[in-house]
A and B are shown apart, each in its own frame.
Chain A
Amino acid sequence: MQASSKQMYQYPLHVIFHPFDGYWELKYERNQRNSLLIAFMILVLLVITKILHAQYSGFLINLSNPKYLNSLLEMVYVIIPVLFWCVANWSLTTLMDGEGKFSEIFMSTCFALVPLFLIHFPWIWLSLVISAQETAFYYFSNALAIAWTVYLLFVGNMTVHQYSPAKTVLTMLLTLVAMAFMAFLCLLFFSLVQQIVSFVVTIYQELVLRG
C-alpha cells in the first residue's frame, strides 16, 4: 500500500519528465484502474487550481471580475475542453487506424495536463508577492506550461495510437477542427431544445389562460 501510494504521485512526474517511457508504460505495463484514478485526480487538482487562481491570485495578473466568479463554471471550463478533446480524438482515431482505447486517450490527455497544474498552482501564491515588472516571469512560465502540455499531448497521442510524428500532428489539428464542430452541434442542439421548451411552455400558458 505504501509503495503504491508513493507511486501514485511519482508516476505522473515520471510521465512528464520522461514522456516516451511514461506513455509506453501507461499503455502496456501499468494497472489501468490505478492510472484512471490518477487521471481523475489530476483533473480535480486542475479544477481546484483554476478556481483558486480566479479567486486568490494577485491583483496584477488577475483581471477577472469577482462579481461574476462562479466555481461551477470554472469547473466546466476545465472539464468540457478535456472531454471534447478526448471524444473528438477518439472519434477521429477510430477512423484513422489509431490503436488507442478511449480510456487510454483520456488518461494520456489528463497526464499531459500535469505541467499546467504544477506550474499554475505555485503561481497563485507567488503572484501575490510580485511587482508589475515581474509579471513577465508569470507570463513566461504560463507559456512554458502550455508548450510543455502540448508536447506531452503530442507524445501521448503518438504512443497511444502508435502513429508517426507527422500523422500525430495531423490528427491533433483535425481533432481541434472536430472539437469546433462538436461545439457548434452542441450549441445548435441546446438552442433547439430551448426553443422547443419555450414553444411547449407557450402552448401550455395559452391553454391555461383560455381554459
Chain B
Amino acid sequence: MRRSTWNTRKSVIMGMICLLLFVQEASYVSADGKTDAYHYSFWGDAVPAPAAYEATTIITGKKLNTTPMKEPSDMHVTANQHVFVLDSGNGRIIEMDRNFKLVRTIDSFVQEGKEDHFKNPQGLYVTEKGHMLVADSDNHRVVHLDEQGKLVKIVSEPKSDLLTADFQFKPMRIVMDKGERIYVMAEGVFDGFMEFSADGTFSSFIGANRVQVDPVEYLWKRFATREQRSQMVMFTPTEFTNLDMDEEGFIYATSGDRGKDPVKKLNAQGTDILRREGYQTPQGDLLYTQEAGPSRLIDVDVGDSDMYSVLDSSKGRIFTYNGDGYLLHIFGGIGNRLGQFNTPVALERAGDRMLVLDKALGEITVFQTTEYGRTLHEAVRSYYNGDEDQSSVLFAQAAEMNANLEYAYAGIGKALLRQKEYAESAKYFKRSMEPKGYSKAFLLYRKELLREHFSWMMSGLFLAVAAFVTIIIVRRQKRRTTNAGIK
C-alpha cells in the first residue's frame, strides 16, 4: 500500500519535473498575419498591441455615382480634407469632399485652344492653393493645373548637361514646395529626384541613394573576367519608390528594397536628416520569412507633429513612426476582409482618418482611429508641442491600453522627473529602455539619497577609519612586545 502511494507520488513528481523542464513561456504573436495589430518591442520581438485604426468604409467609383476606378495609382488629401484620386486607367482626377461626396472629375484640360488628355498618369500632388500637378507618365510630361483645372504650365523633356542625350522623361511621382519648385521621381533615374524651378526648367538632382555594395559580391566581381562581369548584376543605387512633403518643405522619401535606410527625410541640399532615435530604424517589418523578404515600402505620408506613415506593399501593412523614429503602430494587411488590401499603392491621412488606395480593386479603404490610436497620437502631438504634462497623462493612458508600448513609459518618466519623483522616474525610464533618461533620473535620485544620509554615512566612515587605525596600532604594539619577549 505504502509502496503504491510512493509510486504514484513519484510519478506525480516526475510529471511535475517534466513540466518544469519543458515549460515554455507564453509565446509572442508572430508577424505572420495571425493578428492584425502588433508591435515591435525593444528587443525586436513582435508583441500584441491593440488596433490603432479600424476600417470603417470602402469608397468605390460606384459609391461616388461615377464609373468605376480603373487602376488608380495616386491620391492626395488637401488641408480641408478634400480627397483627390488619380484614376490612371481612365485618365482622370476625381475630387471628393470630406464626406466622400463627389465634387468633380477632371479628365481633360485646354492647351492652346485644343482639348488635351492624360495618358496613364501616375503621380498627383495638390498644393495648398488647390493647384494640381499631374505626372502624365506616358505623355512624358508634368501638367500643372490651377484650382479651376485650367492649364498653368507643362514641364516636358528637360534639357541639361546632367542628362544623357537619349534620356526619356517619364515622371512617376511628384511634389511641389511652397516656392513652386517641383520635385519629380522619374522612372529609370538613379540620381535622386529631379528638381525643377518655378518656371519649369530642370535645375538639378537631389538626394540620390548611395550604392549598396555587398562585400562578397564585390570580391567575386574582382576575380571575374570581363565576360563574366558583363553577365553579373550591376551595382546601381536603389530607386526611390515615393515621396511626400511635410509642412516645412522637407521631402520624405521611401526606397523599395531594403537598403540601409528605406525611409529618408531630405533637406534642401538633399541630405538625409531623418531622426533614427527609436529602438529600431524605421524600415517596416523587422521579422520576415526568407521567401517573403523584407518590407517593400512604396508610399509615405507625413502627418502633423512629424508623425509619418509608410506603406509596405508586400504585406500590405502601414507603419507609423513619430519624429524621433519610434514605431507607434502597425495595421492593415493583405487579404479579403474589410481593412485588408489586394495591391495597396497609396496612403494618405485625412485628419483622424487614414485612406489607403487599392490599385487592382480600384477602391479606397477608409480607416478611423480607435480610442487607443487617438490617445497615442494626441500624446505624441502634445509632446511635440512641448506640453509635457498633458503628454505624460496621455502616454499613461496609452500605456494602460497597451502595456507593450515601451515608448510610452519614457513619456511618463519625463513627467515624473519634472515632478521630482526621481526614483519612480528612473523606474519608468528603465522600463522604457531609455538609458539617457534613466541616467539623468538616477543621478538626481542618487544625489538626493546621499544628501539625506550624508551625516551618518560620513560618521560611519570616520568610525571605520578610526577603528582600523586603532587595530593597526594595537597589533604593532603587540608585535613589539612579543619581539621584546624573544629578545
Contacts and interface: CB of A to CB of B under 8 A. Distances in A.
Contacts of B443: 131
Interface in A117-148: 129, 131-133
A10 interface: no
Contacts of B442: 131
Contacts of B25: 67
Nearest to A129: B446
A17 interface: no
Contact of B435 (A60, A65, A67, A129): A60
B446 A60 contact: no
Interface residues of B, number: 12
Nearest to B441: A131
B43 A133 contact: no
5 contacts: A60-B438, A60-B439, A67-B45, A131-B443, A131-B446
A65 B43 contact: yes
Given A65-B43, A67-B25, A132-B436, 14 more contacts: A59-B430, A59-B435, A59-B438, A60-B435, A60-B438, A60-B439, A67-B43, A129-B446, A131-B439, A131-B446, A132-B438, A132-B439, A132-B440, A133-B439
Interface of A: 59-60, 65, 67, 129, 131-133
Nearest to A65: B43
Contacts of B440: 131-132
A132 B435 contact: yes
Contacts of B438: 59-60, 132
A127 to B, nearest CB: 12
B441 to A, nearest CB: 9
Interface in B430-458: 430, 435-436, 438-440, 442-443, 446
A7 B43 CA distance: 46
B427 to A, nearest CB: 10
A65 B446 CA distance: 26
A70 B320 CA distance: 35
Contacts of A132: 435-436, 438-440
A190 to B, nearest CB: 23
Nearest to A133: B439
A59 to B, nearest CB: 5
A59 B441 CA distance: 13
Closest 7 A-B residue pairs measured CB to CB? A132-B439, A131-B443, A131-B439, A65-B43, A59-B430, A60-B435, A131-B442
Contacts of A129: 446
Contacts of A67: 25, 43, 45
A65 B42 CA distance: 10
A63 to B, nearest CB: 9
A131 B436 CA distance: 9
A66 to B, nearest CB: 9
A65 B45 CA distance: 11
A132 B435 CA distance: 7
A59 B436 CA distance: 11
Nearest to B25: A67
Interface string B33-47: 000000000010100
A196 B148 CA distance: 76
Nearest to A68: B43
A192 B414 CA distance: 54
Contacts of B43: 65, 67
A133 B442 CA distance: 12
A132 to B, nearest CB: 3
A50 B446 CA distance: 27
Contacts of A60: 435, 438-439
A129 B438 CA distance: 12
A129 B443 CA distance: 9
A134 to B, nearest CB: 9
Interface in B156-214: none
Kindly name the residue among A59, A60, A67, A133 whose own CB sees the greatest number of chain B CB atoms within 10 A: A59
A59 B442 CA distance: 11
A204 B45 CA distance: 37
Contacts of A59: 430, 435, 438
A64 to B, nearest CB: 10
Interface in B42-88: 43, 45
Nearest to A128: B442
Contacts of A133: 439
A65 B43 CA distance: 7
B91 to A, nearest CB: 54
Nearest to A61: B435
B451 to A, nearest CB: 15
Contacts of A65: 43
B425 to A, nearest CB: 13
A46 to B, nearest CB: 27
Kindly name the residue among A60, A65, A131, A132 whose own CB sees the greatest number of chain B CB atoms within 10 A: A131
A81 B439 CA distance: 34
A133 B435 CA distance: 11
A29 B365 CA distance: 84
A67 B43 CA distance: 10
A131 B407 CA distance: 21
A59 B25 CA distance: 23
Nearest to B42: A65
Kindly name the residue among B43, B436, B438, B442 whose own CB sees the greatest number of chain A CB atoms within 10 A: B442
Nearest to A132: B439
A181 to B, nearest CB: 22
A197 B162 CA distance: 62
Nearest to B442: A131
A96 B418 CA distance: 67
A67 B435 CA distance: 19
